[in-house]
Amino acid sequence: MTLKVYLSGEIHTGWREEIIEGAAGLDVSFSAPVTDHDASDDCGVAILGAEEKKFWHDNLGAKVNAIRTRKGIEDADVVVVRFGEKYKQWNAAFDAGYAAALGKSLIVLHGDDHQHALKEVDAAALAVCQEPRQVAQILQYVLTGNLPG
């Protein structure tokens, strides 16, 4: 069995690489949004033309990015959404809701400080993890039936 895993959310730390390294040797393919913050913010105006107002600048970028995000979530067997410490990732919450609405297996990754704010997101998830290694261990267990150790 091959698992397609979409890694959504926070882009300022190496959590994606930790999961990918932890899943080495497993039959898993990973996809993700564009994680270059500037490219993600500016893709709409870079391709479609400058916008005078910041709202429309951001709106264009969000729509262009949504093409990739929707495809990645729709094609995934498992969607992992990471909520980081530094920024409020409303887009991550949106991705989690979209994945849940599509019936995707959802794994949420965040620290204790977000527990209350994300209680509805956590309730929709099949697993709530605090560390990327836990996500990799879940993927290992799902694919092999073996517990970590």
Beta strands in 46-101 (DSSP E): 78-82
Hey, what amino acid is at 72? G
Q: What is the CA radius of gyration of the chain?
A: 16
Question: In this predicted model, what pLDDT tens digit does every residue of 8-35 receive, in sequence order?
Answer: 999 989 999 999 999 999 999 999 999 9
Longest dimension (CA), the chain: 56
Look up tokens 């991705």; give the residue.
95
Across the chain, mean pLDDT equals: 96
Torsion of CA 72, 78, 83, 88, to 10 degrees: 40
Between 1 and 40, the more confident residue is 40
Q: In the chain, pLDDT over 90 holds for what percent of residues?
A: 93
pTM over 0.85: yes
- Rounded distance between C-alpha atoms, residue 88 and residue 92, angstroms: 9
Strands 28-31, 105-109: pairing is unpaired
pLDDT of 85: 84
| Phi, psi of 140, rounded to the nearest 5 degrees | -60, -45
pLDDT of 55: 98
Instruction: Classify residue 80 as exposed, middle or buried by CB count within 10 Å of its CB (0-12, 13-18, 19+).
Output: buried
pLDDT of 62: 96
pLDDT of 98: 98
Question: In this predicted model, what pLDDT tens digit does every residue of 98-119 receive, in sequence order?
Answer: 999 999 999 999 999 999 999 9
- Rounded distance between C-alpha atoms, residue 100 and residue 20, angstroms: 23
